[in-house]
Amino acid sequence: MTERLYYSDSYLTRFQACVLETSERGQRVVLDRTAFYPSSGGQPHDLGELNGIGVLDVVDEEDRIVHVLAAPLTGTSVEGVVAWDRRRDHMQQHSGQHLLSAVFDLLFQARTLSFHLGAESATIDLDTPILSPAQLQAAELHANHVIQQDLPLAVSFEDAAQAAGLRKESTREGTLRIVSIGELDRSACGGTHVRTTGEIGLVLLRKTEKIRNSTRVEFLCGQRAITRARADFDALSQIARQFSAPLDETPALVTTQLEQAKDAAKSRLKLAIELNTLRGRALYNQTPPDPAGRRRHVENRPQGPLDDELRTLAIAFCSQPNAVFLATSANPPSALLAVSPDSGLHAGNLMKQAIQTAGGKGGGSAQLAQGSLPVGDGHSMSIEKLFDI
Ligand SMILES: [Zn+2]
């Protein structure tokens, strides 16, 4: 049985204890008492040292706590040291979570279903399908107001049958460890907490995500929130410098720039079509007619898709009398055929016939058709030969 020293003192980082049991060559150690918090209830385990040996993991095995060490431990007594920065961070996030859960419950009757404390941020899942930006802002404001009131967080031990007014019913029997925030909240919890809400520092709500019928809210407390706000400011300042504008004006500037970029892309496409129309006509004029007066242009590309620009070129070429335009690509194996209305040819039928012979798929209208062939069947280099034009 391991006595959990962190139950009564979250700030205890140095302690003496006796070794009850070791296994796996002294790298799994059970003590009679420990200040090390094991992973449980959404809060990750502590790190630190036992007699100078690194503690890699702390596992909760109900009535005992196992310390997983980086090297074997010898001897029967130990001095344990818990890494304070990590513990304090977890205390800020976990107490912040109780506060936020209480506030969401109070303001919007949104109950907390689960809590996860990650390395970068923490999340709670609330049993509501939607939370508006205004609701999030109200919850953040209220939680920070409670932080500024510096309410006490207290730990008490009560019999489960007698414990009343808990935010969430506990299914445990016997003695419950209850963490309360002033008159605001009472929750059964085994985690480590700060002494007053002031120590949470601040709560910053981040993104939300809908997960089935619940909403996941990401939040940061204390030092994490400050680090994040600093990173946000640096990123925004970088954007503002690019625009040579004050930070607060950048959202509107970004919107304007994006609209301008979209307009520019549209005009570019329009110009490309116009240019290809002119190029198609020029190409027609440069192509000598055969004895029957027909002008043929064949273009075999080693690779690349037969794109819109090429299609425009083909259409422009065939807008002139008695014209045929064939383009092929070896990769992906494909063909494009355009014919002028007076050519007496049907592009769709010709395409179907040619491509089907080679096991591909294709078709189109009388004037314009496209087809593709199976990859790597040996036809790709001789697609042109499939056509009798
Ligand atoms: Zn808790």
Q: Enumerate the domain spans of the chain.
A: 3-82, 88-239, 273-386
Q: What pLDDT was estimated at residue 380?
A: 47
| pLDDT tens, position by position, 264-275 | 999 998 898 889
Half-sphere exposure of 46 (CA within 13 A, CB side): 28
Q: Is 3.30.980.10 the CATH number for 88-239?
A: yes
CA of 115 to the centre of ligand 1 (A): 8
Q: How much is the pLDDT for 80?
A: 97
CA of 108 to the centre of ligand 1 (A): 20
Is 3-82 a CATH 2.40.30.130 domain? Answer: yes
Residue 146 has pLDDT above 90, yes or no: yes
Q: Cα(first)–Cα(last) distance of the chain, in Å?
A: 91
Q: What percent of the chain has pLDDT over 70?
A: 98
Q: In this predicted structure, what is the pLDDT of residue 378?
A: 55
3-state secondary structure of 158: strand
For 355, phi then psi, to 5°, come to -75, -40
> How sure is the predictor about 381, in pLDDT bands with cuts at 50, 70 and 90?
low
Residue pair 94/43 in contact (Cβ under 8 Å)? The answer is yes
CA of 167 to the centre of ligand 1 (A): 11
- 99 CA distance to ligand 1 middle (Å): 10
The pair of three-digit structure tokens given for residue 358, joined into one six-digit string: 């080679």
- Cα(20) to centroid of ligand 1, in Å? 29
Closest CA to 373 of 387, 389, 356, 388: 356
Q: Residues 45-65: what's their mean pLDDT? A: 96
Joined together, the tokens standing for residue 128 give 């509501």
Instruction: Indicate the average pLDDT of the chain.
Output: 93
- The alpha carbon of 176 and the centre of ligand 1 are apart by a number of angstroms equal to 12
Q: Report, in angstroms and rounded to the nearest whole number, the Rg of the chain calculated over CA atoms.
A: 36
What is the whole-number distance in angstroms between the Cα of residue 119 and the centre of ligand 1? Answer: 17
pTM for the full predicted model: 0.76
Alpha helix (H) residue ranges in the chain: 84-108, 133-149, 222-243, 250-286, 308-317, 347-357
Asked if the model's pLDDT at residue 182 lies above 80, the reply is yes
User: Given a cut of 80, is residue 12 above it in pLDDT?
Assistant: yes
Beta carbons within 8 Å of 154's beta carbon, 6+ residues apart: 179, 180
Give the pLDDT mean for 232-258. 92
Span from the CA of 153 to the centroid of ligand 1 (angstroms): 12
Q: What is the pLDDT of residues 342-379, one digit of tens each?
A: 999 999 999 999 888 888 898 999 999 999 988 865 55
Say what the pLDDT of residue 375 is.
80
Q: How far apart are CA 70 and CA 54, in angstroms?
A: 5
How do residues 91-125 score in pLDDT, each as one tens digit?
999 999 999 999 999 999 999 999 999 998 999 99
Q: How far apart are CA 357 and CA 355, in angstroms?
A: 5
- Is residue 251 pLDDT above 70, yes or no? yes
Taking only the tens place, the pLDDT of each residue in 319-341 is 999 999 999 998 889 999 999 99
Phi, then psi, of 379 in degrees rounded to 5: -85, -20
Q: What is the mean pLDDT of residues 277-286?
A: 93
Q: Do the Cβ atoms of 17 and 77 come closer than 8 Å?
A: yes
| Rounded alpha-carbon distances, angstroms, from residue 195 to 45, 150, 222 | 20, 9, 14
- What is the second-level CATH architecture of the domain 273-386? Roll (3.10)
Question: What residues have a C-beta under 5 A from ligand 1, the ion?
Answer: 189, 191
